[in-house]
Structure 1
Amino acid sequence: MSEVRGKSGSGSGNTAVDDDRATTKVAAGAPPAIEVAKKDEGPEKPPTGIAKLIAWVMQLKPVRVFLRFGASGGEIMASGMSFQAVFAIFAGIWVGFSIFGIVLAGNPALLDSIVAQLGNAIPGLIGEGGAIDPDALMEARILGWTGAIALVGLILTAIGWLASTRDSIRRLFVLEPPKTLFILLKVKDLGLALTFGVAIVLSAVVSLVSNQGLSFAFGLLGIDTRSPFALFVAWLVGVLVVFVFDSLVLAGAFRVLSGVKIPKKRLFAGAAIGGAALGVLKILGTQLLGGATSNPLLASFAVIIGIMIFLNLVCRVILISATWIAVGMDDAGIDPRSLSPEEIENDRERRVAEARDVLVSAERERLQEQMAKTSGLQRRRLRKKLEKLDDLDQAEKVELAKKR
Structure 2
Amino acid sequence: MSEKRAGEAANTAVKDDRATTKTDTVGKPAVEIDEKPVDDTPPTGIAALIAKVMALKPVRVFLRFGSSGGEIMASGMSFQAVFAIFAGIWVGFSIFGIVLAGNQDLMDAVVAQLSNAIPGLIGEDGAIDPKALSEARILGWTGAIALVGLVLTAVGWLASTRDSIRRLFKLDPPTTNPVLLKLKDFGLALAFGVAIILSSAVSLISNQGLSLAFDLLGIDTRSPFAAVAGWLVGVLVVFVFDSLVLAAAFRVLSGVKIPRRRLLAGAAIGGAALGVLKILGSQLLGGATSNPLLASFAVIIGIMIFLNLVCRVILISATWIAVGMEDAGLDPRALTPEQLEVERQKRVAAARDTLVSAERERLQNQLETVHGLARRRVRKRIERLDELDHAEAVKLVEKR
Using structure 2 for the length normalisation, give the TM-score.
Answer: 0.75
Written as runs of structure 1 = structure 2, the 5 A alignment for 1:155-166 is 155-166=151-162
Contact 2:166 2:256 in 1 (8 A): no
Q: Give 3-state SS (helix, strand or coil) of 1:336's partner.
A: coil
Q: How many residues align?
A: 311
Partner of 1:257: 253
Instruction: From 167, 170, 181, give the equivalent of 2:166.
Output: 170
Percent identity, aligned pairs only, is 81
| Greater RCO (CA < 8 Å, at least 6 residues apart) | 2
Structure 1 CA distance for aligned equivalents of residues 339 and 141 of structure 2: 51
Partner of 2:201: 205
1:335-390 deviations in Å (ceiling 9; x for gaps) = 213x2xxx569949x8xxxxxxxxxxxxxxxxxxxxxxxxxxxxxxxxxxxxxxxx
Written as runs of structure 1 = structure 2, the 5 A alignment for 1:3-402 is 43-337=39-333, 339=334, 347=339
Unaligned runs of 5+ in 2: 1-35, 343-397
Give the direction of change, closer, same or farther, for the CA distance of 1:171–1:41 in structure 2 (3 Å limit): closer
Q: Which amino acid aligns with 2:209?
A: G
**Structure 1: which 4+ aligned runs deviate by more than 2 Å?**
40-44, 343-348
Contact 1:95 1:154 in 2 (8 A): yes
Contact 1:292 1:303 in 2 (8 A): no
Structure 2 CA distance for aligned equivalents of residues 119 and 42 of structure 1: 59
Q: Give 3-state SS (helix, strand or coil) of 1:223's partner.
A: coil
Structure 1 CA distance for aligned equivalents of residues 56 and 317 of structure 2: 16
Q: Give 3-state SS (helix, strand or coil) of 1:113's partner.
A: helix
Contact 1:169 1:257 in 2 (8 A): no
Using structure 1 for the length normalisation, give the TM-score.
Answer: 0.74
Partner of 2:29: none
Contact 1:242 1:279 in 2 (8 A): yes
Q: CA deviation at 1:42?
A: 8.3
Structure 2 CA distance for aligned equivalents of residues 179 and 229 of structure 1: 54
Q: CA deviation at 1:230?
A: 0.5
Q: Give 3-state SS (helix, strand or coil) of 1:116's partner.
A: helix
Q: Which amino acid aligns with 1:138?
A: S
Q: CA deviation at 1:227?
A: 0.4
Q: CA deviation at 1:401?
A: 8.3
Unaligned runs of 5+ in 1: 1-39, 351-399
Q: Which amino acid aligns with 2:244?
A: L
1:194-238 deviations in Å (ceiling 9; x for gaps) = 111111111100000000000000000000111000100110111
1:41-65 deviations in Å (ceiling 9; x for gaps) = 8853211111110000000000000
Partner of 2:346: none
Q: CA deviation at 1:177?
A: 1.0
Structure 2 CA distance for aligned equivalents of residues 258 and 86 of structure 1: 21
Answer with 1 or 2: which has the greater Rg. 1
Contact 2:61 2:319 in 1 (8 A): yes
1:19-62 deviations in Å (ceiling 9; x for gaps) = xxxxxxxxxxxxxxxxxxxxx98853211111110000000000
